[in-house]
Amino acid sequence: MSNGAPNKKPFRPPDPFAEEMQRRADRLCDMILHMELEWVDVAIQIEQLRDFCRERAPDKLDAFELIYEPRFARLWDQWRPRTEEN
């Protein structure tokens, strides 16, 4: 039964893992956009982020594979197409 008040989402405390994962992913996105890197360097960073996810939240590894890895590859391809040099 509605009392006329807008529906509010229940409060959820911050998730430290999600915050750290986002911070690390943002850092990698910044590296792709603003640093002179080769793709191998990006691949190493992706693997380190995957390891972080595997160690801290193995149940979220499938989400990592579906969300983060394609995001980094898409960002790289959009701004720095992979070539023989990189």
Mean pLDDT within 35-59: 95
> DSSP assignment, residue 84?
S
pLDDT band at 84 (very low <50, low <70, confident <90, very high): low
| 45: pLDDT strictly greater than 80 | yes
Q: Which of 8-17, 28-37, 55-64 has the lowest mean pLDDT?
A: 8-17
For the chain, what are the domain ranges?
Answer: 16-79
Per-residue DSSP letters for 33-50?
A: HHS---HHHHHHHHHHHH
CA–CA distance, 12 with 14 (Å, rounded to integer): 6
pLDDT band at 86 (very low <50, low <70, confident <90, very high): very low
Mean pLDDT within 59-86: 84
**pLDDT over 70, % of the chain:** 85
